[in-house]
Amino acid sequence: MIFISLILVVLLVLTDQAIKYFVISDIDLYETFYTFKIGGHDLFSITHVRNKGAAWSILEGKTVLLIVIAAIAIFLVLFLIASGRFKLKFEVVMLSFIMAGGIGNLIDRIKYKEVIDYIRTDFLDFPIFNFADICVVVGAIGFCISYLFIETIKNRKKRAVVLGALGDTESEVVNSNEVDILTELSAVSDEETIVSENSEDNKNEKS
């Protein structure tokens, strides 16, 4: 699974860099190349911009710091994938998306000292982003949903096991009580039989 994960990371990074190469080569800075419309309304457009910070231009100009943070995050995700802690293929794939997105933007910061962004949402005010950003967001959301879903299932199974164990204990207690009651009833019955037999013997002796 690790080998497949690394192949997926390479393919995603190559896709990200290929798109950015096209943007840099064929679209001037701040120029809009294409706009996707529905019913006369602009939804998305391809617009060439540069970002020297993180999302919403956070830490703008702190290129070295952003490179260090990205490198640490990438190695952390790589460690999680290699550790084999996550058994589901979906979780590993989502981690691969996060890793690929981080590497894609890290290459930009090292190569250009800034990130190449180009996808603009025209129907709402949102920072322009790129394919690498999509990989990170999709990977993070998918991984969190998968992890929470699995944890929910595990908790339900644990609860079912505990309730099952408690149910068996209660059953054993009830069965034990039933046996005790039957034993007492049997003893009472035996005593009554003995008393009855004694009284008959006494009558016979008198007669």
Tens digits of per-residue pLDDT, 145-170?
988 887 788 777 777 777 777 765 54
Residue 57 lies in a domain: yes
Question: Residue 35 sits in which domain range?
Answer: 2-160
Ordered DSSP codes for 1-62: -HHHHHHHHHHHHHHHHHHHHHHHHHS-TT-EEEEEEETTEEEEEEEEEEESSSGGGTTTT-
Question: Tens digits of per-residue pLDDT, 136-146?
Answer: 999 999 999 98
Residue 55 lies in a domain: yes
Residue 34 lies in a domain: yes
HSE toward the beta carbon, residue 98, CA cutoff 13 A:
24
Question: Tens digits of per-residue pLDDT, 68-85?
Answer: 999 999 999 999 888 888
The total of structural domains in the chain comes to: 1
Residue 202 lies in a domain: no
Residue 201 lies in a domain: no
Residue 196 lies in a domain: no
Task: Using the structure block, give the residue that is written with the tokens 């949102």.
Answer: 126
Residue 106 lies in a domain: yes
Active-site annotation, residues: 117, 133
